[in-house]
Structure 1
Amino acid sequence: MPVNLHVPSIRWNMLDADEIATLCYERFEQLPRRGKPEPGREWSLLAAVLKVTRCADSDTVEKEVVSLGTGTKCIGQTAMSPTGDVLNDSHAEVIARRGCTRYLTQELRRAVVGGHSSVFCGADERGKWRLQPGVSFIFFTSHTPCGDASIIAMADSQAQPCPAVPSGGGHGLKRKAEETRDDRKTKGPRLGQQGTAETELEERAHAEASLLSDRSVDTVLLDSAPQEIQSRVHPQLPDIHRTGAKCVPGGPADPLHPGCGYHSTGRLRVKPGRGQPTLSLSCSDKLARWSVLGLQGALLAHYLQEALYFSTVVVGKCPYSQEAMHRALVTRCSRVSELPAGFSVCPPDMLQSTLEFPFSQAHTQHTHRGQGRISPCGAAISWCNVTEQPLDVTANGYKHGVTKKALGTANARSLLCKLELFRSFLSLVSATDPSSLPDSLRGRELQTYWDYKQASAVYQRAWQQLHSQAFPLWPRADRQLLLFTLED
């Protein structure tokens, strides 16, 4: 339910980070149990999008969670589907943003069929819409986004959301046994090697044993060891939190020097999988991209006169650096220029809450009392404020609990996968009176997902400017993975 706050009109945009966190955590608590981490044994990340509305005739401000997501994983490159029916990236930030596009699509549909939308009103251009006066959006994440924003000075032992996963080292058989046990516990298909941190504690124990038994270990092995072990061996060296997200190919790699010299900063990074490379850019990179291209994506940009931006990013209690957040989300895009009308560089305000997510990795480690190791929750939850099927729980890119027999059917698909979001968008197009269609959707033979994305010409021009000026190494999507239609 929306929360009404009475504040002075000249201060309506001043936010309380703890209030934002509380709204998100309470929304999570109201969800069913399915897909949530097992208390004391599993952890996850949470992200959400909130709509903020200032009432025109009063000093009242409404804040409402319209999309929420949890998750820590992404699928490997070989598991990606050419029919768009697999959810590639299930990090909480991506889940929350994709859920928000479901919400925005619903609100656009309400607008185009003549009903009332609390989000959109008519714009000047034919077939275009803009935000209602006084409406803005806030992005919340329970943890510093993975990638560049997570490379910060280490002031405590809390882990990052994308911890590094060292390769090799003589424990492959144990890992394989654990994977077999995991397979028996889940009904869902196992699609390649997945995850971001399943073996973190196991790797830590192995590395610590190796280091303590061989003080002459070479520098490369030492650099890949857990941070608290390095600090024991080189206690005089300042250190930084590590991210398992790797620098994208084609540019400088991390130097991997001891301490603060381990990472390069300001780099585009791909999220880690366990053994299997991924094509998913880090959440730091995606938030930076959204600050220029907007949160709506290429498809909904057909209907919008101006891109939609997050006014504020709020981070929960965790290792945090305002400097690193600014570097990752703002500085890298700050000089992008010559953007087409409707797009601009819109850096968000950044705040941190003092409230920790009850299922964070740090809190789970603190409360863990049982046997065995803690691990990231294998499921990802999406909830958004839509009329039909607001809840979507997935694992390994498919509906949670789906059997292999159901693969390739609608019952196996997440509502956030490309194919389902495409279906929702085409439903919006069908509901639009032909005389009210945006010009970019008129007089064209558009069939595939790729066709509709490319037809959003103004969005694509903005992306070209961002790509050439700020992110030239951003990997291009494989067109063969985007040529699907609803009939595929």
Structure 2
Amino acid sequence: MTTDHQMEDAKVISVATGTRCISGEYVSLVGVSLNDTHAEVIARRCLCDFFYAQLEMHDDSEDSIFVPRPTGNGYQLKDNVKFHLYISTAPCGDAGISSPHEAVSQDKHPNRKARGQLMTKLEPGEKTVPVKSRSAHFQTWDGIALGESLLTMSCSDKIARWNVVGVQGSLLSHFVEPIYLESITLGSLRALHRQVVQKPGQSALPRPALPCPALH
């Protein structure tokens, strides 16, 4: 988190590591297990916990990152507060599919057919496959109980979703305006720009009021 774009005063809000998503047999209907424990997902969960703590301290401290909305309904992030995401390696899913020739219209790379598609994680590992190749119908609890593989969306697709609806999640959306990432930095940059900014079909979605995050 930065204030007034002063990187030397940046604060680390959450740090996470992880490599797995659970199998369908371990899914909990009462919230005692996490379906996805990849690092990006866990880091965002910790960030949401930080948001809740900041809301709780708002009435007693001016140090809160939130201020009341001008309309008087809920809160919004202070204008000078920005959030940045660092990922050591390319997120699983479409952002991890790249080719040095992907900008060429006649690209013959074998992964080209999977680009731009929604991807789901292979339980309980790290690899992903296009959703269309796994299921042609909506997933149900009965289906999982009967042995269907759990469809856990890739980190690439989740980051793309955050770029549209914000990182705060559905519950916090009742109290605060959407919160967007100011920048995303990858230790190993691959195809994140295509996934987050140029994903097919994403242009038809309502765009956030803030610009897309800077990619490094």
- TM-score after normalising by structure 1: 0.36
Aligned-pair CA distance for 1:345: 6.7
Question: Match of 1:326?
Answer: 193
Give aligned pairs, total: 186
Query: Runs of 5+ in structure 2 lacking a partner?
Result: 102-107, 126-147
Is 2:51 aligned against 1:104? yes
Larger radius of gyration: 1
- Alignment map for 1:356-395 (pairs within 5 Å): none
Question: Match of 2:23?
Answer: 76
**Paired residue for 1:267, among 110, 117, 132?**
117
Deviations 1:108-141 (A, max 9, x none): 1111x33233411121233411112311100111
Amino acid corresponding to residue 145 of structure 1 in structure 2 = P
SS in 1 for 2:41: helix
Question: Match of 2:67?
Answer: 121
Query: Runs of 5+ in structure 1 lacking a partner?
Result: 1-50, 155-237, 239-258, 352-488
Aligned-pair CA distance for 1:277: 2.8
Tell me, yes or no, if the aligned pair for 1:269 and 1:285 is still in contact at 8 Å: yes
Tell me, yes or no, if the aligned pair for 2:21 and 2:123 is still in contact at 8 Å: yes
What's the Cα RMSD here?
2.5
Question: Match of 2:213?
Answer: 348
Question: Match of 2:3?
Answer: 53
CA distance in structure 2 between the partners assigned to 1:346 and 1:301 by the alignment:
19
Amino acid corresponding to residue 268 of structure 1 in structure 2 = L
**Paired residue for 1:139, among 67, 82, 85?**
85
Aligned-pair CA distance for 1:331: 1.3
Tell me, yes or no, if the aligned pair for 1:291 and 1:346 is still in contact at 8 Å: no
**Paired residue for 2:162, among 290, 297, 321?**
290
CA distance in structure 2 between the partners assigned to 1:74 and 1:272 by the alignment:
8
Question: Match of 1:375?
Answer: none
Question: Match of 1:311?
Answer: 182
Larger mean Cα displacement after TM superposition, 114-123 or 264-273: 114-123
Amino acid corresponding to residue 71 of structure 1 in structure 2 = G
Question: Match of 1:409?
Answer: none
CA distance in structure 1 between the partners assigned to 2:121 and 2:210 by the alignment:
25
- Alignment map for 1:463-482 (pairs within 5 Å): none
Tell me, yes or no, if the aligned pair for 2:182 and 2:214 is still in contact at 8 Å: yes
Tell me, yes or no, if the aligned pair for 2:20 and 2:124 is still in contact at 8 Å: no
Q: Which has the higher helix share?
A: 1
Question: Match of 1:87?
Answer: 34
SS in 1 for 2:185: strand
CA distance in structure 2 between the partners assigned to 1:110 and 1:151 by the alignment:
42
CA distance in structure 2 between the partners assigned to 1:108 and 1:274 by the alignment:
35
Aligned-pair CA distance for 1:60: 7.9
SS in 1 for 2:16: strand
Amino acid corresponding to residue 336 of structure 1 in structure 2 = L
Tell me, yes or no, if the aligned pair for 2:163 and 2:212 is still in contact at 8 Å: yes
Is 2:13 aligned against 1:66? yes
Tell me, yes or no, if the aligned pair for 1:292 and 1:344 is still in contact at 8 Å: no
